[in-house]
Amino acid sequence: MIQSIKERQEQHSLKKEPCCYYLQLSVAEGKKDKTELERWMPIGLVFLMEHLQHRKRRVLVHCAQGRDRSVGIVLAFVALTCTRVFPLRFREEFDSLDVGSIANFADEDDTGINGDDTNEAKDSSDLHHLQSGLSISLVKILSKENGRDVFLKWMHEQQNTPSNVPFVNKESLRIVLHLVSQDRENAEPTRSTMQKLNRFFMSSPIYRPIK
């Protein structure tokens, strides 16, 4: 798959826009994955925001069976950006999300390289992000250990919500799953994936009381 992406990138290197955008996240299925879904979640969510909102494109989210890992990403995205009624609709704030401002919420040491917006990978560690439309500097910020916390701080600022209250809880995640299931009948995330979503949204240190 990565080789195919590289070949397409070479074929379209002279064009201003690539033929397609693609983001591959290294997440094993079900219990085989321990923490990678949580680690890559911010990058997956920003990819969706960048292309659905900023670039006005349609995005296909998929995994091997289309019922677990991909559904986990979609649940997180819907929980953050959509009203909780059927049919699903973006919240008004969605159109004003500024992905470019995420770096403002990272520590100075976390910004890594300069603000280069190039899409080309510098080494093999960047292969999963070839042709994603996201800058390498942004990917590096969000893939760090505190990437989730940076992302959540940014989302609170963008939506003007209290920064000490999680966006969702277990009950609201179940509601989101029910809404998504109306359009995707075989959306059946495993218990392991739901637990990871709970941890992603509710275990961030930004929600711990300051003593």
Q: What's the pTM value of the predicted model, to 2 decimals?
A: 0.84
Cβ-proximal residues to 143 (8 Å cutoff; 6+ apart), any chain: 39, 40, 43
C-alpha angle with apex 190: 185 to 195, nearest 5 degrees? 125
- Report the distance separating Cα 52 and Cα 30, nearest Å: 27
Specify the amino acid at residue 84. R
Which of these, 171, 170, 158, 163, lies nearest to 200 by C-alpha position? 170
Specify the amino acid at residue 16. K
Residues recorded for the chain: 211
DSSP 72: H
Q: Is the pLDDT of residue 150 over 60?
A: yes
Per the prediction, the chain carries an average pLDDT of 85
* Predicted pLDDT of residue 17: 65
Confidence band, pLDDT 50/70/90 cuts, at residue 44: very high
